[in-house]
Amino acid sequence: MGGAAHPEIAEAVRRALEEDIGSGDVTSRLCIGEGQRASGRFIARQALVVAGVDVLPLIYEARGGVDSFQLEAGDGQKLKPGGGFASVRGSARTLLECERTALNFLQRLSGIATLTRQYADAIAGTRTRILDTRKTTPGLRRLEKMATAAGGAVNHRMGLFDFILIKNNHITAAGGVRPALERTRNTELPVEIEVRTKQELEEALACGAKRLLFDNLTPEEAADWVRFVKNRATVELSGGITLETVRAYAEAGADFISVGALTHSAPAVDINFRISLE
């Protein structure tokens, strides 16, 4: 994924700071003395899984005025209420102007990691792994996929450029399962195909498909199709799978379950930034 040093993440931080601070934090400039120093600490106010802490140094480095910064938790770590993410010391103005941007990243990304961990825990003991999707916030995909990984998911394709996923509309446009697969034979990229009927499933296997996507099946239907595959290909299940149903789908024997809700519906978690003046 490239980590927090990836240029896309630096650009996301730059845009977020520009959006919030603009020409300057007028409230802090008027209310806080220029030389005032302060300390601040990010604290969990609920049980959660940490994600996004590596963005915090980028935020403070971009604004300057920070004397010290210390991480107290890492991505993937569970925190109880009252647990600390990080502490920072420096210009009170800098700490205040960066507060909302820092919290927005932490609350959003830790929310994704927390929900992802719930899905991963729900299928513990099965062979199945949770996959994320491309249903991400525009401009934040790399960060949000880092958050799903922190929560225990496997990252699926980053975009349309690094993985071939032949879905129903591709099959229709290509003229069927066989011609769609035939046109991908010379690629070095992984190839996965969605099949909608048992006939398409049989055709895909006959064409040598090694990755299959079953969408919108019941757990019972999924189990029947997985038995038919007999480990001739890896199987991914998708389509409205919830925390309440994910265990039943995992017990159907699939290799992966993809869940768009990890990123498109994860609630932000409750995190507080407490400041003390020196």
Confidence of residue 4 (pLDDT cuts 50, 70, 90): confident
**pLDDT above 80 for 116:** yes
Write down the pTM of the prediction: 0.96
194 an active-site residue? yes
> What is the structure's pLDDT at 65?
87
Q: CATH number for the 154-258 domain, one of 3.30.70.980, 3.30.470.10, 3.20.20.70, 3.90.1480.20? A: 3.20.20.70
200 an active-site residue? no
Q: CATH number for the 7-112+267-277 domain, one of 3.40.50.1820, 3.90.1170.20, 3.30.70.980, 2.120.10.70? A: 3.90.1170.20
- Which of 37, 78, 100, 183 is catalytic? The answer is 100
Give the mean model confidence (pLDDT) for residues 193-214.
Answer: 97
Domain residue extents for the chain: 7-112+267-277, 154-258
CA distances from 57 to 30, 53, 64, 242, 245 (A): 26, 8, 10, 35, 39
Give Cβ neighbours of residue 53 (< 8 Å, ≥ 6 apart). 71, 73, 74, 75, 85, 86, 106
CA distances from 43 to 46, 135, 169 (A): 9, 29, 46
The percent of residues in the chain predicted with pLDDT above 90, rounded, is 97
Q: Name the 3-class secondary structure at 216.
A: coil
202 an active-site residue? no
Q: Report pLDDT digits (tens) over 149-169.
A: 999 999 999 999 999 999 999
b/e per residue 67-80 (b: at least 16 CB within 10 A): eebeebbebbbebe
Is-contact 263 112, C-beta < 8 A?
Answer: yes
- Which of 99, 194, 200, 255 is catalytic? The answer is 194
Q: What rounded mean pLDDT belongs to the chain? A: 97
**pLDDT above 70 for 1:** no
- Which of 167, 178, 196, 247 is catalytic? The answer is 167
270 an active-site residue? no
78 an active-site residue? no
- Which of 41, 89, 135, 196 is catalytic? The answer is 135
**pLDDT above 70 for 2:** no
- Which of 8, 203, 215, 251 is catalytic? The answer is 215
Give the mean model confidence (pLDDT) for residues 103-116.
Answer: 98
